[in-house]
A and B are shown apart, each in its own frame.
Chain A
């Protein structure tokens, strides 16, 4: 395989962004600008699908590896994918065009720059998921913050500056420690190449501290309780497309990082800290579900539910079992689709009524029936109804957790009950009931592009709910290999 397909994936959105950079933005060419961005992201998406087709599911080694010297003897630009990372790349390239389609009149100024931010973000995210060198990973991982920071800070709501800084402070604080850890790894082993590190292994005596350093970064980004409070604020202030990117892709970096680095590089430390992760995950699931129950702002409610869902993810990863990790990855993909869709749903009514408060709405099912149907579907997926992708992930995670620890599984399962309560209650208050606010009568149902984006998200949500085989087959071998290595390392400690 000589064609550098991964580098092309990383660079394509960047080239699109460059193109936009040199285009003058005015009211006349708004549509043209949007089409350029859309075209770029679509090409990226199809290229990533092609990657999935070429991808060999039967081997666990990294594929499509590109290794180039960047700084001699120090850092190599090395990329590659295995079963764990490829799905995240496809999620990224799938969500981005939908995001661009969803950008509409709500972005009043600097549309050009907004699209550039989204495309740059896509570049960084693809980079995160395929980099095989710790330094390269770190660069992409941190760089991803910048476009998001700008999206919130420039195009956000009234408290955008506060939220942007809170977001930046939280996420940067954790990352600094990760940088230190990466430098120490280089000192200890002499390399930052992930595949080499997998083979070399890291001395057990360093693992705990290094694990904690990586953890501090990932925990903030996941976000895990108690460092989750930036998320609701960031979501509330971010424009719809920003929320979608944040929930669907940005949050997945940390889950991916846990699997790739925490489990892969520091197995014995992961073993040590599993109880910590379990505790924080269970607290996240129960606490934030209860908090979500009481939210008055639709976006905040979904943001808090995201924290609970990511709690399931971290729980599943650290069960270190086939079902648990596979469940976590499916849960992340599913959450990527469903939370994106839910934020788009909020965006739809926000664009019409300019309010995110639940009490503004009620009784709109007959006014916007198409919207009501799709919103219902995603509500059900969010509460993990069998037949939607949400169920498969959640159930596998809980199943694995139960094998490991009864109490944890029982407590986490309680979250499923509260999840049903807050999602259905939200839906009922927004969609059903008597129409009191007469302003709502003027609402128009989904337009074509809205219907298109939501349908695009609905199809995989249902399809993978009934038939998750394509996902499971892709990740199965890699995860099996990861677990075998993990067990071998822990046993030989």
Chain B
């Protein structure tokens, strides 16, 4: 049964990918959606078994790479951690499959799209159920590949192609660190199997390495290298540039891959490796700092963007930052909790925005929307739920998970923890502002679209609305229902068990009451504030922008990361490549090598040619010269 969870999406992908033409568009859609849905139901059953019966299993499917001392198997590891991920992945995937039937109804390449979605699901499941780092890497690159396919799905768009390649290559930069991390693990432990590695960790606590001239603790180095991989996949600051561009893909893709599942793989990696990270204070501090920086950076950029999907993309980036700093302060289970709730409300928001884009016939700029909340009642209501959950409005799912992160950061008692808590609160406020800005500009105020009339906007079909409704149920209740299991005192012992490792038990204290009330108060207050700014007094934001023009430009241009990378990395690489080719290969090597020798021989023989003029007197003269030289030589010697 467990293996079929992974196998069904693969079968779906093969059927739809290779026989899509044969069985037709509609059948491809039905087959893929159905198989992935079955997989989702089975996953829920597995999670139920894990919760109720403490079910754990490590299934070996087949051998993969056995070379010398290296042994890698195709495997399926089921514990609390992977069971949670199984449910998140298959559930969201099944809903996105169903939603896509409606969303892609006008697209000529439906079977291909469904095949990619299913293939992605398969790769993601391989990632989360691996029992060793190399299968994890397989899934890791596999989801990257599907992401590449899906971002570039509309292959005629130049921007989509560029974004697809950028996503893959930037991820490869992260994977470069990740692969080095795996090499280091194999170097130190002679195995890449999780349990075998984790068992040996305590034995090398004091081992130091000389890595490229830096003397560093071995465990610190492993954690940092693995985290570089996590940063790439989870779009953390410095390696985040691909995620906003990835919004070129169809919206269901953004919901599935770039919000709920693939981008959380980095968080999953850190949590999975908690037995290593717990021994490295340095790495945990780095994780915290990168996490909180990303949370703040992305939220600040989201404040001024005008593309509805890009705003949500930056929001995702920011929320992933929250998950990382939760892991960084040692609250891995809280990170997983936020991952879990975030999957629901962020997928809801993305699919909701897809519904809006659909209604406006592919308009994405929120300045060209507005005033349609009566025209799109379902979408509007559902997105309100998503927004409330995202901002952490009391009693909705985001409230439980995000506030828990801030609390645990505060309770960790370290300096970085305090900073993280402070930035977490401020970012929560920013989150609320930009989320409501999006909502108000999209649904309220004046109707601003010049392309189509307001009467032409239409609510989405039922096949798109139903998945949204299911997600909204998750967005409302997931936090309340699962909070005890995920982050309660009981859960740590009875649910997560060995899948998450805590060197020291998490603090059971509670922060002071004023601290607990701070975030929700800010979040609630920000709603009328945003309403005032973006509906009532619309000139005020513009005035603020023109007063602080440099700051506004800075945010609008996303802190100029892309431009800096172009100047520092992309263009120099091309120039060096050109130089190596034109100068090194063609001029230097060929010039001195074959071409040089050839031309030298040619010149030489040309010169030698001149001696053979055919005139007897010249030959005689040369002979005379030679003879006299020879004579002179003899005389001098004697």
Contacts and interface: CB of A to CB of B under 8 A. Distances in A.
A complexed with B:
yes
A290 B575 CA distance: 9
Interface of B: 62-70, 74, 134, 137-138, 141-142, 145, 148, 152, 155-156, 158, 161, 164-165, 168-169, 172-173, 175-176, 179-180, 182-184, 186-187, 211-212, 573-574, 576-578, 580-581, 584-586, 589-590, 593-594, 597
Contact of A416 (B70, B172, B584): B172
A466 B165 CA distance: 25
A282 to B, nearest CB: 14
B138 A434 contact: no
B278 to A, nearest CB: 25
B187 A402 contact: yes
A287 interface: yes
A469 B175 CA distance: 25
Contacts of A432: 152, 155-156, 161
B577 A472 contact: no
A462 B145 CA distance: 15
Contacts of B165: 421, 424-425, 428
Contact of A291 (B65, B67, B137, B581): B581
A323 interface: yes
B168 A424 contact: yes
A400 to B, nearest CB: 9
Contact of A395 (B134, B168, B212, B576): B134
A343 B187 CA distance: 37
Contact of B65 (A169, A226, A229, A472): A472
B65 A420 contact: no
A133 interface: no
A149 B158 CA distance: 42
Contacts of A466: 64, 74
A268 interface: no
A416 B168 CA distance: 12
Given A294-B574, A472-B66, A433 B158 contact: yes
A353 B594 CA distance: 32
B303 to A, nearest CB: 33
A446 interface: no
A391 B145 CA distance: 14
Question: Top 4 closest A-B pairs, CB basis?
Answer: A322-B68, A402-B183, A290-B577, A386-B138
A323 B67 contact: yes
A77 interface: no
A414 interface: yes
Given A385-B141, A432-B152, 6 more contacts: A166-B594, A229-B585, A292-B577, A395-B179, A413-B176, A424-B168
A81 interface: no
A396 B169 contact: no
A200 interface: no
Contact of B179 (A230, A363, A403, A416): A416
B594 A363 contact: no
Nearest to A429: B161
A321 B187 CA distance: 12
A386 B134 CA distance: 9
A266 B590 CA distance: 31
Contacts of B589: 226-227, 229
Contacts of A396: 65, 67, 70
Given A392-B65, A420-B169, A424-B148, A413 B578 contact: no
B169 A229 contact: no
A310 interface: no
A45 B584 CA distance: 42
Contacts of B590: 229
A399 B186 contact: yes
Contacts of A386: 134, 137-138, 141-142
B110 to A, nearest CB: 15
A294 B69 CA distance: 40
Interface in A34-49: none
A290 B155 contact: no
Given A433-B155, A466-B64, A291 B169 contact: no
A292 B585 CA distance: 12
A467 interface: yes
Interface in A245-299: 287, 290-295
Interface of A: 165-166, 169-170, 226-227, 229-230, 287, 290-295, 321-323, 326-327, 363, 365, 380, 385-387, 391-392, 395-396, 398-399, 402-403, 406-407, 409-410, 413-414, 416-418, 420-421, 424-425, 428, 431-434, 466-469, 472, 476, 480
Contacts of A170: 593-594
A290 B576 contact: yes
Given A402-B183, A409-B183, A420-B169, A414 B67 contact: no
A469 B68 contact: no
Contacts of A476: 67-68
B176 A229 contact: no
Given A229-B593, A392-B65, A413-B176, A406 B573 contact: no
A24 to B, nearest CB: 39
A326 B68 contact: yes
Contacts of A472: 65-67
A169 B172 CA distance: 39
5 contacts: A169-B597, A227-B589, A402-B183, A402-B184, A472-B67
B183 A399 contact: yes
B156 to A, nearest CB: 5
- Greatest chain B CB density within 10 A among A290, A407, A409, A466 is at A290
A294 B577 contact: yes
Given A230-B594, A327-B67, A472-B67, A414 B577 contact: no
A327 B70 CA distance: 12
Contacts of B212: 406-407, 410
Contacts of B184: 402
A417 B176 contact: yes
Nearest to B123: A387
B169 A424 contact: yes
Contacts of A420: 168-169, 172
A287 B580 contact: yes
B142 to A, nearest CB: 7
A468 B574 contact: no
Nearest to A424: B165
A262 B597 CA distance: 29
A469 B578 contact: no
A469 B66 contact: yes
A116 to B, nearest CB: 28
Contacts of B180: 402, 409-410, 413
A468 B134 CA distance: 14
Given A229-B590, A433-B158, A467 B67 contact: no
Contacts of B211: 406
Contacts of B148: 424
Contact of A428 (B62, B161, B176, B182): B161
Contacts of A295: 581
Contact of B574 (A293, A410, A424, A431): A293
Contacts of B186: 399, 402-403
Most buried by A among B138, B179, B182, B581: B581
Contacts of A398: 179, 183
A144 B180 CA distance: 40
Contacts of B66: 469, 472
Nearest to B186: A399
A421 B182 CA distance: 22
A322 B142 contact: no
B246 to A, nearest CB: 15
A327 B68 CA distance: 11
B623 to A, nearest CB: 36
Contact of A294 (B63, B152, B578): B578
A488 to B, nearest CB: 17
B69 A322 contact: yes
Nearest to B156: A434
A169 B67 contact: no
B155 to A, nearest CB: 4
Contacts of A431: 155
A414 B176 contact: yes
